[in-house]
């Protein structure tokens, strides 16, 4: 594809090869040729196997586990394209790691999200494309344009079909105060169904205790939406709580399925009817269980790429 006199090229590091390939197929483009390997001592080795001079280059890489390795691959690929005289470099980061470290929660802590943003900019990225940043203010950590796509519009059609005969008995539950905006948007799109909120506290990372439920879930079908599911402990505790308050069923949804440690076992043994996730993080075969439904958002990212190339507005992808 050639637009504005520039070639469009999509390259992938190791964490998002399938995602990048789906993006390229949507745009009718071949995948860019590159190799991302490791030297004997563990250092990352990058080889770009075709010219990128003057091209609009998109480097696709989620920065989930192993986080540091994936971040380094992304940085080195960006640097390689900068030194290869690429016309414009966009870092496509479906899941932006370190986003939960967006502030100092106690003395002598780094603000890791800001540091990673600086590293991406310093490496040579001209733009960033991502989805559902854990904290929207992270957009301000970058001194380059950043497009933060929203996950909610992409799950609405699935839920409309799933609950088409139960919409009058549906309630969206925000798993915590931080997810209220996202949950309210989902409730609004689902024919303005009621919204409830879990009031909980976190005594330690990945541990939460539900204190109260604000709203009515008794005899309701519950949809619970969060941006990240990590170890699964918080989600399963929240599900147990709404079931205790009389919910008929609970369907959970998360944009980014980290599914660390024993998360799969917890989910499989939980009272969750179904967990709907996006493919911003590629799910290995051992984590693909019957309870988990994966929806691809690669076409949405591909459409965003096309609009960036064409200098067209992105607003229709957000609403």
Q: Any idea which residues carry the catalytic annotation?
A: 200
Q: What does the alpha-carbon distance between residue 291 and residue 105 come to, in Å, rounded to a whole number?
A: 35
> Where on the phi/psi map is residue 198: left (φ > 0), alpha (ψ -120 to 50), or beta?
beta
Strands 170-174 and 221-229, by their bridges, are: parallel
Rounded to the nearest 5°, which phi and psi values hold at 165? -100, 10
Q: What does the alpha-carbon distance between residue 16 and residue 94 come to, in Å, rounded to a whole number?
A: 9
Q: Is the dihedral of CA 5, 3, 7, 64 positive or negative?
A: positive
Beta bridge partners of 197: 174, 214
Residue among 291, 294, 247, 246 at smallest CA distance from 272: 291
Residue 255: C-alpha distances to residues 41, 84, 153, 215, 251 (Å): 35, 34, 11, 24, 14
**DSSP characters over 164-195:** TTTGGGEEEEESSGGGHHHHHHHHHHTTT--E
Task: Using the structure block, give the residue that is written with the tokens 């770009």.
Answer: 48
Q: Is 85 helix (H, G, I), strand (E, B) or coil?
A: coil
Q: Is 22 helix (H, G, I), strand (E, B) or coil?
A: helix
């Amino acid at each position: 594809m050639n637009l504005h006199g520039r070639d469009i090229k999509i390259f992938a590091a190791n964490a998002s090869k399938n995602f990048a390939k789906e993006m390229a197929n949507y745009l009718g483009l071949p995948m860019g040729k590159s190799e991302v390997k490791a030297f004997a001592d563990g250092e990352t080795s990058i080889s770009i196997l075709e010219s990128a001079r003057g091209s609009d280059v998109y480097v696709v890489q989620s920065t989930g586990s192993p986080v540091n390795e994936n971040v380094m691959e992304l940085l080195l690929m960006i640097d390689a394209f900068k030194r290869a005289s690429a016309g414009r470099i966009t870092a496509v980061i479906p899941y932006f790691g370190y986003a939960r470290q967006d502030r100092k929660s106690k003395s002598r802590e780094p603000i890791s999200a800001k540091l990673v943003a600086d590293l991406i900019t310093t490496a040579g990225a001209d733009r960033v494309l991502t989805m559902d940043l854990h904290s929207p203010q992270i957009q301000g950590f970058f001194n380059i344009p950043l497009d933060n796509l929203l996950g909610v519009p992409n799950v609405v059609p699935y839920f409309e079909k799933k609950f088409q005969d139960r919409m009058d008995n549906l309630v969206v539950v925000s798993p915590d105060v931080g997810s209220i905006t996202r949950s309210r948007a989902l409730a609004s799109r689902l024919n303005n169904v009621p919204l409830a909120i879990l009031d909980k506290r976190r005594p330690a990372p990945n541990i939460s205790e539900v204190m109260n439920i604000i709203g009515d879930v008794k005899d309701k079908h519950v949809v619970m939406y969060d941006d990240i599911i990590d170890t699964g402990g918080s989600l399963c505790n929240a599900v147990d709580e709404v079931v205790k308050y009389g919910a008929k069923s609970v369907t959970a949804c998360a944009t980014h399925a980290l599914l660390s440690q024993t998360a799969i076992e917890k989910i499989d043994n939980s009272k969750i009817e179904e967990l709907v996730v996006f493919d911003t993080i590629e799910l290995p075969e051992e984590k693909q269980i019957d309870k988990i439904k994966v929806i691809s958002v690669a076409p949405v990212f591909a459409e965003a790429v096309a609009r960036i190339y064409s200098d067209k507005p992105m607003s229709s992808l957000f609403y």
